Amino acid sequence: MTNQQHPEYQYLNLLKDILENWNDKQIFLAPEVLKQYEEKWEQPPFIRSLFGRQTRYDLSKWFPLLTTKKVFMRWIIHELLWFIKWDSNIKYLVDNDVHIWDEWPYKKYKAAMMKWTVENLTQDQFIAKIKESNEFAQQWWDLGNVYWVQWRRWESSDGRKIDQLARAINELKTTPFRKSIVVSAWNPEFIYEMAASKDKAMALPPCHTIFQFSVVDNKLSLHLYQRSADTFLWVPFNIASYALFTMMLAQVCGFQPGEFVHTFWDVHLYSNHFEQAKEQITREPRPFPKMIINPEVKNIDDFKFEDFKLEEYDPWPTLKWDITAVWGF
């Protein structure tokens, strides 16, 4: 593929669009998060935002792992396997040295620290204690009824636990022409002030709100509707994760991979990522890599980390970043 045809320009143009055609917005921060900024004598970040954009990636041609900065595929695979198993315990990630979700349980612990009910721990000390102590992990790990729990254990009014993903797989195998093969993560019962209590609430309302499947010419495509998109930091992870998820489901259901279609509602940059984004858009994309999946796996629950092999990945160096953990009840 020539540079001007390189599909990564969709992402780079999204960064450029936000930087050039922005609307500034404040972000909601819980008291424990604000306190962290006060302790560091820093101003909280804000976002520059656009509404309504879309990108598309043809998975039959390449694997869309961005090349204009290094994206950690090991983290993405472990996180996706964690999602599929509807595990809300970050100990699996911590034990595998994946730290994507460290901020969220630490906020809960930080709130308890502010009330002087637990010992003072830095985030690194907190994560180390989760790794070494199952009892401590059981007390502080829980992210609540987060979106991947909704994928597989949606609580119905009559007490059932609905496995939306299993239902989608069954429909894809039996009636793939249907237009209702949808998985929703947006469950108002567990979102912020709509939840019965803080303990019942999700750690954050689902950014990945809903996804839908389509089968055309024996190719499986997935369309993700993302309500909130941290474009510099997490969108590269989202692209690779849902592309891989689509490929896994295609294999399980007996199809070839089609497209990953990514629709954004609020797509934004945090103010502490502006300079990194400006640097990234100056970089020329390199050829996308290949993702090899163990063809023997035919059940979505049977995939293991060792079943995936990334080949020919030659990215630009990573760009330093900070996570902005926004949440509050």
Helix axes 103-114, 31-39, angle to 10 degrees: 90
User: Full-prediction pTM beyond 0.85?
Assistant: yes
> In this structure, how many other beta carbons lie within 10 angstroms of the beta carbon of residue 255?
22
Report the CATH number that the domain containing residue 241 is assigned in CATH: 3.30.572.10
- Residue 285 forms part of a structural domain: yes
Number of domains forming the structure of the chain:
1
pLDDT attached to residue 2: 44
DSSP-derived 3-state class of residue 32 = helix
Which residues face 230 on adjacent strands? Answer: 268
- Per-residue pLDDT for the chain (329 aa), expressed as one digit of tens each? 444 589 999 999 999 999 999 899 988 776 767 777 788 787 888 999 999 999 999 999 999 999 999 999 999 999 999 999 988 888 889 889 998 888 878 877 877 888 878 888 988 898 888 888 888 877 877 777 888 889 999 988 898 999 999 999 999 999 999 999 999 999 988 887 788 887 777 767 889 999 999 999 999 999 999 999 999 999 999 999 999 999 999 999 999 999 999 999 999 999 999 999 999 999 999 999 999 999 999 999 999 999 999 999 999 999 987 666 555 44
- Residue 33 forms part of a structural domain: no
E strand residue ranges, 86-191: 154-155, 161-162, 182-184
- Residue 130 forms part of a structural domain: no
- Residue 108 forms part of a structural domain: no
pLDDT attached to residue 11: 98
- Residue 115 forms part of a structural domain: no
- Residue 242 forms part of a structural domain: yes
Residues annotated as part of the active site:
207
- Residue 139 forms part of a structural domain: no
Residue 318, judged by CB atoms within 10 A of its CB (0-12, 13-18, 19+), counts as exposed
DSSP-derived 3-state class of residue 110 = helix
- Residue 21 forms part of a structural domain: yes
Give the domain range for residue 228: 3-27+48-87+144-311
Residue 67, judged by CB atoms within 10 A of its CB (0-12, 13-18, 19+), counts as buried
